[in-house]
Chain A
Amino acid sequence: MDVNIPKSLDELPTSEVRWVSKPIQRVEDPSLLTGRTEFIDNLTLPGMLHCAILHSPHSHARIVSVDTSKAEQLPGVVAVVTGEDAERWTKPIGTVPKGWGVRSLAVDKARFVGEPVAAVAATSRYIAEDALELIDVEYEPLPPIADPSEAMKDGSPLVFEENETNVMIDRTFTWGEVDEAFDQADHVYTEKFRWNRVGANPIETFGVVSQWDPVEETITCHGGFQAPAYMALGVAVRFRIPPNRVRLVAHPHGGSFGGKGGGRGTDITVMLSRKTGGRPVKYIEDRIEYMIAGGSQAWDRRYEASLAVKSDGTVTGLKVKLLDDLGATGEGYAAISAAKPLAAFTGCYAIPAAGYEMTVVATNKTPGSPYRGMGPPPHNFVLEQMMDIAARGLKIDPAEMRRKNFIPADAFPYTIPSGNEYDSGNYDATMDELLKMSNYEELRRDQEKARAEGRCVGIGVVTSIEPGVFNNNIYNILGNMGGTAVPEGVTISIDIFSKITARVGFALEGQGQYTFVAQILADYFNATPDDVRVVCQDTLSAPPHYGPGGSRMAVALSGAVLGASDMIRQKLIAVGSRLIGLAEGDAEFMDGVVRAKDDHDRKIVLRDVVGAILYRSDLLPPGTEPTVDATYVWTAPDRGMPDDQGRAKSYLTAANACHLVMVEIDLDTGKVDILKYFIADDCGTRLNPAVVDGMTQGGVAQGVGAALLEEYAYDDSGQLLTATFMDYLIPTVHEVPPTEKSALTTPSPLTPLGTKGMGEGAMNTTPAAIMSAINDALSPLGVQAREVPATPNRIWKLVQGARDASKDS
């Protein structure tokens, strides 16, 4: 069957689009607002036990012995597992690149503070935690390595002795005539940057309830799984059982942002269940566990970047050198965040040549995790700071500097040097809108006035590309990442009451995913969102799926919904036309009826066609199945494997944003206040503009955190110093500014309805924007901030340095 997926709203089979693209209220909200949504910690199963995990206090230590005998004697304790069980029952966690993995419980040595060493299942969490106190672990501390530059040197302690090095990845990419660009440049600007570890920190941590069935040899896990199908495959591989013996049931989560983690907790509870002879075991990660040992930490980076520029401001070359401290292992796909910038390496700019040196190193810190944006937030911070440095050097206004280098609107589809193709865009229009809505010139005058009053005020104007619809293909440059297809499947069915059910493979996570499914189906079948139910199926029942992640869910799930709807549409036409005595080719489906193309009054309504299909086989062509349902699995078209320089069409869409932020720095304390914040962005067709605005604002909040507040700080021995919300500062309502937002719409020519991935864009942009504003504010003092977060302490030191220098001179 040829399946036709509408590429624009006009192609939907409705004469008036009533739901899609409207800011309707979310269908998932009443349940969430009344506290009825079944988050994982709400689940209790008969006979369920509770797990607590013992974590290594050392960043690097040989495990000499683990004595669990006293813990096992505590009343209420049913089972204890250690590295021995993990070695017996599981394989190491898969890693990218290969060979940097450990089991879910440490065997022989611990490689980071917080690494699970043993775990208890007991009748209550309180008793399980008591039992941890009774486990005696003898450690022999080893010299730790916490500095990635030191870790690269000969003679450094090794995180994995068998690898004989701590360097996990060392690749250099050259795209175009980079040396020539720098040789022929009028100016070359070079600068170093430091991005400290930050992370997702959803308000709900990871949780899971696992059950091993010793008779069937099956595993069932209920949990906050962001990508259930991938997680299920991982569990099957690690426990050495076929995938069809693992069933994962995803529960709604309290946020993820890529950093839900969960592999270890899942494995540990399965092992405990196995040891208890098959009782269900629940583990709810507590906040400190999440912060030191969960999916919480991302992007511990040192950068050096160079820009080749002509004296008129035209940028001709970009070189970036990255040293990425990935921590103790290569689990959780964190290393691919060093490679994702290939999908938007040169941002919005027509820079013809670029080079990337990417070094990823293991240290005795918590293993890195994915986090919203997956690499571009720090990369774009570096790129945008370089644009500002060049603009300042050439005395060009920062907005003008960017405009001069934009990829022109008539150049799409546009292939960037690192190989990805941008689908569409109009960056000049976005910038125009930003400058207009913010009254840019007036803001500059306000800034002058403030400076004259002795205030330290700055304006940042930055841009970004958000690569949308992730694909595994470019990550093959790191090794074992699989192919070019990432499936998103849905099954749609229509019942005898003409109500519509959509079955997907993943749970609610906050992006309004069930709402836009309902919007699309309502318009497609002339219904209301209330007529649609979206349900999440387990991994053995759902069609192949991935779920939210990689800025792809809305695009991919729309594709699946529209594909399945089209299959149903074709059946409705085939049957409906026969029922009203038409040749199939003379009928069409529109506004919920099958009708003659040339006589719209000759028609039959959806309800009657569905009724006939379900209950009147005597009226149907022989062989017609008595069901109105269809399954469609969408993947991005036209993706290939990368060449030896990592070049491929990877991410399908390129959304674009321009942010303007005005800040004021208190020179006595170093504190940065955000005075004004404006956003103009273009993510193609917006399925639900209110949801889009909400995710943009949420991205701003996380960007504020990364730029000003949040930091996983370690001491030299690899001890985490910021393991609570008292020390790791999540932005509150006081720090996150309300923003003024304006939407432009350049539809993607390649996607369902012209949508683009958009959930990460503000996180790609906000840290860069705030840092640009800070540096604009600081520029009269002759100092610049090159490290995020720009905490009061860091800014105060810069200001003091400037004051001391001016005293000396």
Chain B
Amino acid sequence: MDELMTDNRKVKVTVNGVKYEASAEPRTTLVDFLRAELGLTGTHVGCEHGVCGACTILMDGRSVRSCIMLAVQADGAELTTVEGLSIDGQLHPIQEAFRESHGLQCGFCTPGFLMTIFELLEENPNPGDEEINEALGGNLCRCTGYQSIVEAVKIAAARSAS
């Protein structure tokens, strides 16, 4: 087993503006690092093979699946997770839009969707139907049937435009 028990590495990351330095085995996934080491449990694990998108976070502004990345790969990076969206309990406009459109039921996949949509609206504040579907196509939701999530994107986009 020795080859599996390699030395821990130091990982320095900035998450939601806060600097962290912690150690991780090279094999530790980024999502396990965020959840277990840093205590940021808002990012969820759904499939552990990069399909469902529940673990989506932003790394240097780009969405990544934190279940199929290693913590060491994020060394030096700036990360944003769902905990970084709301400030002082005040919902982010995308979160508000989700609540308004009933864009969630169980809420487990929601943090991944929020981060995906955050990225979409940063890049394209006024996306069309095709662009919305293209962006959401990599996130699975088993409860809502997506209609209300698409609606949430439109509400959030309209509100930021006004």
The interface residues of chain B lying within 8 Å CB-to-CB of A74 are 1
Does A732 sit at the interface, judged by CB under 8 A? yes
Does B140 sit at the interface, judged by CB under 8 A? yes
Interface residues in A688-729 (C-beta closer than 8 Å to B): 690-691, 693-695, 697-702, 724-726
Does A33 sit at the interface, judged by CB under 8 A? yes
Does A733 sit at the interface, judged by CB under 8 A? yes
Our pick among A25, A130, A201 for the contact of B99 (Cβ within 8 Å) is: A25
Stretch at the interface among A178-186, A252-260, A496-504, A780-788: A252-260
Contact A203 B108 (CB under 8 A): yes
As a 0/1 sequence over residues 25 to 40 of chain A, the CB contacts with chain B under 8 angstroms (1 = contact) are: 1101110111111010
The majority secondary structure among interface residues of chain B is loop
Contact A694/B106 with A34-B83, A286-B48, A701-B142 known, Cβ cut-off 8 Å? no
Q: How far does the Cβ of A253 sit from chain B's closest Cβ, in whole Å?
A: 6
Contact A25 B52 (CB under 8 A): no
The interface residues of chain A lying within 8 Å CB-to-CB of B28 are 126
Our pick among A28, A33, A37 for the contact of B91 (Cβ within 8 Å) is: A33
Does A176 sit at the interface, judged by CB under 8 A? no
Which among B107, B148, B150 has the highest number of chain A CB atoms within 10 Å? B107
Stretch at the interface among B35-43, B58-66, B70-78, B118-126: B35-43
Which among B42, B82, B140, B147 has the highest number of chain A CB atoms within 10 Å? B147
Contact A726 B49 (CB under 8 A): yes
Our pick among B42, B43, B106 for the contact of A254 (Cβ within 8 Å) is: B106
Contact A697 B148 (CB under 8 A): yes
Our pick among B89, B108, B140 for the contact of A730 (Cβ within 8 Å) is: B140
Nearest B-chain residue to A696, judged by Cβ: B145
Contact A204 B106 (CB under 8 A): yes
Contact A694 B144 (CB under 8 A): yes
Contact A698/B41 with A35-B82, A203-B52, A732-B137 known, Cβ cut-off 8 Å? no
Tell me, in angstroms, the Cα distance from A204 to B52 when the chains sit together: 10
Tell me, in angstroms, the Cα distance from A240 to B145 when the chains sit together: 43
Contact B41 A204 (CB under 8 A): no
Interface residues in A385-428 (C-beta closer than 8 Å to B): none
Contact A255 B82 (CB under 8 A): no
Contact B140 A694 (CB under 8 A): no
Contact A203 B42 (CB under 8 A): no
Nearest B-chain residue to A762, judged by Cβ: B145
Stretch at the interface among A154-162, A269-277, A523-531, A734-742: A734-742
Contact B99 A701 (CB under 8 A): no
Does A41 sit at the interface, judged by CB under 8 A? yes
Nearest B-chain residue to A725, judged by Cβ: B51
Q: Chain A contact residues (Cβ within 8 angstroms of B): what range? A: 35 or more
The interface residues of chain B lying within 8 Å CB-to-CB of A286 are 48
Contact B146 A287 (CB under 8 A): no
Tell me, in angstroms, the Cα distance from A725 to B138 when the chains sit together: 12
Tell me, in angstroms, the Cα distance from A126 to B33 when the chains sit together: 12
Nearest A-chain residue to B49, judged by Cβ: A724
Tell me, in angstroms, the Cα distance from A509 to B138 when the chains sit together: 23
Nearest B-chain residue to A291, judged by Cβ: B47
Does A642 sit at the interface, judged by CB under 8 A? no
Does A611 sit at the interface, judged by CB under 8 A? no
Does B95 sit at the interface, judged by CB under 8 A? yes
The interface residues of chain B lying within 8 Å CB-to-CB of A35 are 41-44, 81-83, 111
Tell me, in angstroms, the Cα distance from A36 to B143 when the chains sit together: 19
Does B45 sit at the interface, judged by CB under 8 A? yes
Tell me, in angstroms, the Cα distance from A355 to B107 when the chains sit together: 43
Contact B83 A134 (CB under 8 A): no
Our pick among A126, A200, A254, A724 for the contact of B107 (Cβ within 8 Å) is: A254
Does B133 sit at the interface, judged by CB under 8 A? yes
Contact A33/B99 with A126-B28, A203-B52, A724-B51 known, Cβ cut-off 8 Å? yes
Does A99 sit at the interface, judged by CB under 8 A? no
The interface residues of chain A lying within 8 Å CB-to-CB of B150 are 733, 738
Interface residues in A660-710 (C-beta closer than 8 Å to B): 690-691, 693-695, 697-702
Our pick among A26, A32, A736 for the contact of B110 (Cβ within 8 Å) is: A32
Nearest A-chain residue to B132, judged by Cβ: A733
Our pick among A23, A130, A510, A726 for the contact of B143 (Cβ within 8 Å) is: A510
Q: How far does the Cβ of B141 sit from chain A's closest Cβ, in whole Å?
A: 7
Contact A202 B142 (CB under 8 A): yes
As a 0/1 sequence over residues 495 to 520 of chain A, the CB contacts with chain B under 8 angstroms (1 = contact) are: 00000000000001111100000000
Our pick among B1, B146, B149 for the contact of A134 (Cβ within 8 Å) is: B1
Contacts from B to A (Cβ < 8 Å): 1, 4, 25, 27-28, 35, 41-49, 51-52, 54, 81-83, 85-86, 89, 91, 95, 98-100, 102, 104-111, 114, 133, 136-150
Q: Which 10 residue pairs of A and B lie closest in terms of their CB atoms, listed nearest first?
A: A35-B42, A254-B108, A32-B107, A510-B106, A697-B145, A701-B145, A510-B105, A725-B51, A35-B82, A42-B41
Contacts from A to B (Cβ < 8 Å): 23, 25-26, 28-30, 32-37, 39, 41-42, 74, 126, 130, 133-134, 200-205, 252-255, 257, 284, 286-287, 508-512, 690-691, 693-695, 697-702, 724-726, 730, 732-734, 736, 738-739
> 13 A-B Cβ contacts within 8 A?
A30-B99, A41-B35, A126-B27, A134-B1, A255-B105, A509-B106, A510-B105, A701-B141, A701-B144, A701-B146, A725-B52, A730-B52, A733-B133
